[in-house]
Amino acid sequence: MTIPSAPEVKKKDETERESESAEQVVTPWEVSAKDGEKIDYYKLIVKFGCQRLDASLIDRVQRLTSRPPHVFLRRGVFFAHRDLTEILDAYERGDKFYLYTGRGPSSEALHLGHLIPFMFTKYLQEAFKVPLVIQLTDDEKCMWKGLTVAESKRLARENAKDIIACGFDVTKTYIFSNFDYMCGAFYQNMVQVGNYVTLNQAMSTFGFSGTDHVGKLSFPAVQAAPSFPSSFPHLFSGMDNLRCLIPCAIDQDPYFRMTRDVAPKLGYSKPALIESSFFPALQGNNKKMSASDPNSAIYVTDTAEDIKNKINKYAYSGGQKSLKEQEELGADLEKDVSVKYLSFFLEDDSELEHIRKEYGKGKMQTRDVKNRLTEVLTEMVERHRRDRAAVTDEMVDAFMAVRPLPSMFE
Amino acid sequence: MTIPSAPEVKKKDETERESESAEQVVTPWEVSAKDGEKIDYYKLIVKFGCQRLDASLIDRVQRLTSRPPHVFLRRGVFFAHRDLTEILDAYERGDKFYLYTGRGPSSEALHLGHLIPFMFTKYLQEAFKVPLVIQLTDDEKCMWKGLTVAESKRLARENAKDIIACGFDVTKTYIFSNFDYMCGAFYQNMVQVGNYVTLNQAMSTFGFSGTDHVGKLSFPAVQAAPSFPSSFPHLFSGMDNLRCLIPCAIDQDPYFRMTRDVAPKLGYSKPALIESSFFPALQGNNKKMSASDPNSAIYVTDTAEDIKNKINKYAYSGGQKSLKEQEELGADLEKDVSVKYLSFFLEDDSELEHIRKEYGKGKMQTRDVKNRLTEVLTEMVERHRRDRAAVTDEMVDAFMAVRPLPSMFE
């Protein structure tokens, strides 16, 4: 993905920015582009007021961590940030930070788009040697999807297994469900955040209306609280100045714009963010995968046969209608979902470049690209399934235990 | 206080009732009558849709508990209820219940009005031999009064000492601060309550507006949660059908109308209520005591001299302007604050009746009534102060420890 330089953005109260425009909608609950168009990430950066994650910053990450940058960084999947420069400045001076990410456990099976923040967060944890908290928002799913408390909690544990299967280090990682972990220290931060956001602001930032239930109004503060180290006395006691870095998809930005506005009023640092684009649906680049349409996504529970069929049947092709036309005109790489998917998951830069080149000038057919994608995803999904099968209930208990993380900065 | 029979009230969704009228305002945040008039408790019963606590119900309480009814029952201080009949029916069949009351710790020193629900709750606990949970809403005071978390928690502990000084049984009583106790089980009930109240309903029931902070919107669910036994797994594990009886002042009724509407949707019993009138300000019957005007109330920290001066200077007199007029016309007992105060705290029915009679027909002067009130209140406040001085930090810790109550039904 090519992202032009972000222009200077007029400073204003971050929550004051609108989260909707006539052209495209990106909120925590809705992501849609104009018909037939892609999400314009450049416009999102300007609208949300975040910064472009440019090559010099990626080089700096490489230098500070002494390892190649993750493919999601090299390929611009994580493309925007807030205050990452400050986090790296401090890291260079020897100041650590902690990572915070999360998941709303609305379904049993995760799709590939769900894995992206966790794959990337695992890389960050290993590269920077820092602790990580993962919030499972079972309460959110009870509020928005009408799930029972018991069902939300069950899904949270099931999803925790998929997350653990991504390879997190149990000595550095605390996974928690809001329904289970909620405690005084966390609630104190929730209440304090709620004291600085008016109902009008919440309605404008998150699009709440009078017919929404009041529980929803309290949720932004629940998602904000883990940005402050004091929400975790068992981890960060006496470390109130520890900074927080949040890897997430850019649709979560409204929550953290609000959090960043409030943080200094509570005496905390603003959390920094590193934000990804969306993993598109098989049907095209302009939609996010949806858990409600099983054919829009590849699931970690899909068989090799499922994966092959879904790619062959649904993956939107940028190739031409006939072999002859394809040989003459080549494929439209920008619209081709298989090429897009390969850009996320085919790690070999030279092979990806070869495919783009050959397919783009018509020397490769859609079928060939789909076959290669099928191989890559089948291997990836089968590896994930093996890893997930090895995650026991005892391991889930271990990750979710309220405990210190003794080797969290090693 | 004389309360006429409550008429049949048209059944409707309890939260639909308006909490304001053109004539008088009674909400959790404001209590005021029409200028120069008393709060009309009869109208409140009709408007809120609760029932009158009549003589036959008081007789039944006496019979079931084998002890004289509390002076606050005999004198109509607690004058309204919801489902008390059902609670007594069940009690007669051998089913116990638990008591829930609370306090918003907004000030260091309590006034006499603050003590009333606790004095009465102590009587209920002893008479029925049931457990009691007391919620200290330090979070509310952080939200409404802008107190820091630390200051709210400090005031909660200070207020706990006054509450403990009322003589509660530590083997049957759990006192908790929301900021300290908040836990998964409690939060799960909070979220579920929040799922059944729309923003529009909350704004109408509690008078919230767009400029209020979102934290406030979540508070009604926080006050609702202790009505459900599952909010206290350390006390009521496996007792999800245990009913709850809430002694409170009638200004808290909107919270519990909402709670009662939601309860069946969550599979819980509706909490029952027993509701008091307000203890009036020294200046007159139409105002509630206010912590912000020290001369409107007698505080438990007032010296004997303070009490004497406040009563002599500020207690509104229903007596006539001159000795002659008083002897001719007698005092207006309905407007006389000293008589009102004596009706709360002078336990001897015959002495109270004597004072009312003599003062009413002009054979007693305001000075005599004020002197007697000074004696009664001084003795009461000094006893409270002695009892409070005996409450140690260890005792507060013991009442506030998350623990089972082994003898809670004995």
Report chain B's terminal Cα–Cα distance, integer Å.
Answer: 34
The rounded distance, in Å, linking the Cα atoms of B101 and B106 is 16
Contact between chains at B182 and A181 (C-beta distance less than 8 A)? no
Cβ contacts of A199 on chain B, cutoff 8 Å = 199, 208-214, 217
Contact between chains at A199 and B184 (C-beta distance less than 8 A)? no
The pLDDT, as a whole number, for residue A109 is: 86
Contact between chains at B198 and A211 (C-beta distance less than 8 A)? yes
* Interface residue ranges in chain B relative to chain A, Cβ cutoff 8 Å: 139, 142-143, 146, 149, 178-184, 186-188, 190-200, 202-203, 208-218, 220-221
Q: Which numeric CATH code is attached to B1-410?
A: 3.40.50.620
Contact between chains at B203 and A210 (C-beta distance less than 8 A)? yes
Q: What is the mean pLDDT of residues B225-241?
A: 97
The rounded distance, in Å, linking the Cα atoms of A143 and A140 is 5
Chain A CA closest to residue B222: A215
Amino acid identity for residue A304 in this structure: A
Q: Alpha carbon of A371 to those of A303, A338, A366: distances in Å? A: 15, 9, 9
Task: Retrieve residue A82's tokens.
Answer: 């807030």
Burial B332-371 (b: 16+ CB within 10 A, else e): ebebbbbbbbbbbbbeeeeebeebbebbbebebbbeebbe
For A217, which of B139, B183, B218 is closest by C-beta distance? B218
Contact between chains at B179 and A186 (C-beta distance less than 8 A)? no
The pLDDT, as a whole number, for residue A35 is: 67
The pLDDT, as a whole number, for residue A36 is: 63
Is the pLDDT at B2 greater than 50? The verdict is no
Contact between chains at B191 and A149 (C-beta distance less than 8 A)? yes
Phi, psi of B239 (to 5 degrees): -120, 45
Supply the DSSP string of B64-77, one letter for each residue: HHTSPPPHHHHTTS
Cβ contacts of B240 on chain A, cutoff 8 Å = none
Q: Alpha carbon of A125 to those of A65, A119, A129, A167, A226: distances in Å? A: 11, 10, 5, 11, 17
Chain B CA closest to residue A149: B188
* Interface residue ranges in chain A relative to chain B, Cβ cutoff 8 Å: 139, 142-143, 146, 149, 178-184, 186-188, 190-200, 202-203, 208-218, 220-221
- A and B: number of Cβ contacts within 8 A: 128
The pLDDT, as a whole number, for residue A16 is: 45
Task: Retrieve residue B199's tokens.
Answer: 């923003």
Contact between chains at A181 and B184 (C-beta distance less than 8 A)? yes
Q: What is the pLDDT along chain A (410 residues), one digit of tens a residue?
A: 333 333 333 344 454 444 444 567 777 777 777 766 777 888 888 888 899 999 999 999 999 999 999 999 999 999 999 999 999 999 999 999 999 999 999 888 899 999 999 999 999 999 999 999 999 999 999 999 989 999 999 999 999 999 999 999 999 999 999 999 999 999 999 999 999 999 999 999 999 999 999 999 999 999 999 999 999 999 999 999 999 999 999 999 999 999 999 999 999 999 999 999 988 899 987 766 766 788 999 999 999 999 999 999 999 999 999 999 999 999 999 999 999 999 999 999 999 999 999 999 999 999 999 999 999 999 999 999 999 999 999 999 999 999 999 889 98
Chain position carrying tokens 């960043």: A260
B40 neighbors B79 (Cβ within 8 angstroms): no
Q: Please tell me the distance in Å from A203's CA to the nearest CA on chain B.
A: 9
pTM of the model: 0.90
Phi, psi of A97 (to 5 degrees): -145, 180
pLDDT confidence of B288, banded at 50, 70, 90? low
The rounded distance, in Å, linking the Cα atoms of B218 and B132 is 24
Report chain A's terminal Cα–Cα distance, integer Å.
Answer: 34
The pLDDT, as a whole number, for residue A14 is: 52
Coil, strand, or helix at residue B42?
A: helix
User: Tens digits of per-residue pLDDT, B237-267?
Assistant: 999 999 999 999 999 999 999 999 999 999 9
State percent of chain B over pLDDT 70. 92
Question: How many Cβ atoms sit within 10 Å of the Cβ of residue B91?
Answer: 19
Is the pLDDT at B273 greater than 60? The verdict is yes
**Nearest-5° Cα angle at B339, B337 to B343:** 115
For B187, which of A182, A192, A210 is closest by C-beta distance? A182
Cβ contacts of A211 on chain B, cutoff 8 Å = 198-200
User: Tens digits of per-residue pLDDT, B88-128?
Assistant: 999 999 999 999 999 999 888 899 999 999 999 999 999 99
